[in-house]
Amino acid sequence: DVKVTQSSRYLVKRTGEKVFLECVQDMDHENMFWYRQDPGLGLRLIYFSYDVKMKEKGDIPEGYSVSREKKERFSLILESASTNQTSMYLCASSSGGDVTNEKLFFGSGTQLSVL
């Protein structure tokens, strides 16, 4: 069974802390994505990666960075957490090729609270 695994289901951090959210996929997918989900706003793309060591900004990259050193792992980094980054974070992956037509496989999400 294909899987996208996010390391934590719930996370509580303090303002100013550096936060790492980890995501691992076992499908040998080229593309990986980080979204944040907020009520009434749907999912908004933070960053994505279409290859190892490659990254592209999404629609709301401010305050975030990413790392993809291995194909299966895509990390989201909050350099200095702020309360407005309290949200549900969803990792997703998709195969390469005709990327526009490929469905996304999602992890279960990490609910991050910044106090």
Partner 1 sequence: AQSVTQLGSHVSVSEGALVLLRCNYSSSVPPYLFWYVQYPNQGLQLLLKYTSAATLVKGINGFEAEFKKSETSFHLTKPSAHMSDAAEYFCAVTPTGGFKTIFGAGTRLFVKA
Residue 27 is a binding residue for partner 1 (CB under 8 A): no
Query: In this structure, are residues 69 and 32 in contact, taking their beta carbons and an 8 Å threshold?
Result: no
* Six token digits for residue 114: 């910044």
Residue 90 is a binding residue for partner 1 (CB under 8 A): yes
* Closer of 90 and 114 to partner 1 (Cβ): 90
Size of the site for partner 1 (CB under 8 A): 26
Query: In this structure, are residues 64 and 74 in contact, taking their beta carbons and an 8 Å threshold?
Result: no
* Six token digits for residue 89: 């974070």
DSSP conformational letter for 100: G
Q: Which residues contribute to the site for partner 1 (CB under 8 A)?
A: 4, 31, 33, 35, 40-45, 48, 50, 56, 58-59, 90, 92, 99-101, 103-104, 106-109
